[in-house]
């Protein structure tokens, strides 16, 4: 009876989301919902990219629809066997995302866009060495959706000599900063202006670099990386005289540091992580603190504060709070509230100050194994505007 009531409540909320006047998948909450850090499910220490055997098998049978009832049980069981061949040396994966949305004004025509078409592959010739990469073909067909610095490919080699020693990652990838979101609309990672917000560091920003990942104890994680700044320097802003300048100096190294403390309490019922990160290049820096917690299989909360400074030009002060509730194994409900502040220096004038708030209601619905639907309703409210904006989107995510 309780399960039936929870399902009816969830479906009611879903209908409300769909009929009430954007999002790339974001699942850092899984760490706190299921008590596993990112590298427990992904080959990369920071998470994302191709899934290892545990990540592939952990939720590949989650389905709102009974596959036996529709005559597809044997088909999905065959797909669920493995994502590896050659005695698990070669692994493969795929992410496809289509999204229905309106760009620009709320009166603009609704479009269906291919947001991601990313095959991924990894090769592990030995237990301590992994080559991995992913390419997003969708970026070749939607240049107007591509942010400065954003890259269509990520590739690296990861060497992990033992559990007692640091692993090292070399290649073309994004520095570790705070919580690893996969959503470019997170206000906590944006700068504001008189017109529209823009990402501080876009999703899939990548530069050539090296990163050490070390667990000196089971409950401590340390990451330190150095990167070229060529692609990050494509991100621009305006100086006090309104002249365009790069965010960072492309001829100087970008350094990223991240420390987090993770543990489970009350017989693994409560999962908690506290962390800080710091990225800097010449006169630009980003500093953040984050706190994640969750009751296993029930609910998670993630809070993050992110500060950035471009010396004497611009500073941002943003905060985000996100809650995820497990309605059923196949339906996760999400609510998010964010507040942003940006100060932009002007020549001979007082600095311009911009404030905005954002509220998001969303759901992750696993209709069938490897098929996810993500409806979302968003309110964006700028202090300088006379009214708020609201819009809804729906995303179809096929993954393997």
Mean pLDDT of 371-390: 91
* Range of weakest confidence among 112-121, 278-287, 296-305, 341-350: 341-350
Strands 352-368, 371-382: pairing kind: antiparallel
Q: Is the pLDDT of residue 391 over 60?
A: yes
- d(CA 206, CA 170) in angstroms, rounded, equals 12
Q: Coil, strand, or helix at residue 147?
A: coil
In this prediction the pTM is 0.86
Q: What is the pLDDT of residue 183?
A: 79
Query: Residue 160's closest CA among 35, 39, 47, 30?
Result: 39
Question: Mean pLDDT: which of 108-112, 129-133, 192-196 is highest?
Answer: 129-133
pLDDT at 20 over 70: no
CA dihedral sign, ordered 213, 217, 219, 222: negative
Residue partners of 41: CB distance under 8 A and separation at least 6: 30, 47, 51, 52, 54, 55, 58
Query: Of 16 and 225, which is predicted with more confidence?
Result: 225
The arithmetic mean of pLDDT across residues 72-101, rounded, is: 89
Helix (H) / strand (E) containing 244: strand 244-246
DSSP track, 201-217: S-TTB-EEEEEEEEEEE
5, pLDDT greater than 90: no
Stretch 297-325: mean pLDDT, rounded?
A: 96
The residue ranking higher by pLDDT, 155 or 18, is 155
Residue 66 CA: distances (Å) to CA of 52, 286, 368, 376: 26, 46, 8, 25
For the chain, give the percent of residues with pLDDT over 70.
Answer: 86
User: Pick the residue with more confidence: 376 or 142?
Assistant: 376
Mean pLDDT, to the nearest integer, of 180-208? 89
* 2 C-beta neighbours (distance < 10 Å), count: 6
The per-residue pLDDT for range 254-286, each reduced to its tens digit, is 999 999 999 989 888 999 999 999 999 999 999
Domains of the chain, with CATH numbers? 2-399 (2.40.160.10)
Q: Tens of pLDDT along 209-220?
A: 999 999 999 899
């Amino acid at each position: 009876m309780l399960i039936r009531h929870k399902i009816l409540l969830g479906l009611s909320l879903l209908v409300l989301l769909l009929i009430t006047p954007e999002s790339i998948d974001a699942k850092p909450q899984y760490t706190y919902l299921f008590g596993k850090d990112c590298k427990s499910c992904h080959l990369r220490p920071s998470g994302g990219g191709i899934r290892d055997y545990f990540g592939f098998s952990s939720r590949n049978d989650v389905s709102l629809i009974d596959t036996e009832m529709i005559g597809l049980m044997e088909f999905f069981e065959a797909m669920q066997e493995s994502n590896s061949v050659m005695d698990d040396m070669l692994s493969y994966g795929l992410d496809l995302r289509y999204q229905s949305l309106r760009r620009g004004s709320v009166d603009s025509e609704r479009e269906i866009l291919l947001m991601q078409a990313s095959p991924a592959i990894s090769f592990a010739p030995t237990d301590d060495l992994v080559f991995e990469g992913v390419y997003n073909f969708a970026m070749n067909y939607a240049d107007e959706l591509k942010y400065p610095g954003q890259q269509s490919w990520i590739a690296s080699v990861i060497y992990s000599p033992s559990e007692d020693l640091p692993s090292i990652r070399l290649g073309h990838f994004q520095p570790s900063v705070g919580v690893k979101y996969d959503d470019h609309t997170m206000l906590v990672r944006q700068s504001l202006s008189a017109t529209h917000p823009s990402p501080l560091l876009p999703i899939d920003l990548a530069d050539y670099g090296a990163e050490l990942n070390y667990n000196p104890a089971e409950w401590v994680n340390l990451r330190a990386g150095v990167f070229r700044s060529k692609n990050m320097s494509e991100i621009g802003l305006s100086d006090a005289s309104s002249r365009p300048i790069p965010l960072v100096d492309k001829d100087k190294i970008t350094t990223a540091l991240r420390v987090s403390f993770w543990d489970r309490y009350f017989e693994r019922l409560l999962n908690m992580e506290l962390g800080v990160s710091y990225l800097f290049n010449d006169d630009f820096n980003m500093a953040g603190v984050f706190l994640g917690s969750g009751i296993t299989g029930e609910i998670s909360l993630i809070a993050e504060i992110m500060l950035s400074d471009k010396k004497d030009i611009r500073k941002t002060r943003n905060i985000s709070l996100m809650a995820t509730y497990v309605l059923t194994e196949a339906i996760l409900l999400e609510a998010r509230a964010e507040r942003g502040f940006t100060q932009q220096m002007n020549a001979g004038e007082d600095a311009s100050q911009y404030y905005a708030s954002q509220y998001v209601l969303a759901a992750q619905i696993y209709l069938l194994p490897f098929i996810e639907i993500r409806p979302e309703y968003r309110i964006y409210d700028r202090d300088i505007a006379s009214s708020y904006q609201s819009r809804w989107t729906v995303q179809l995510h096929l993954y393997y």
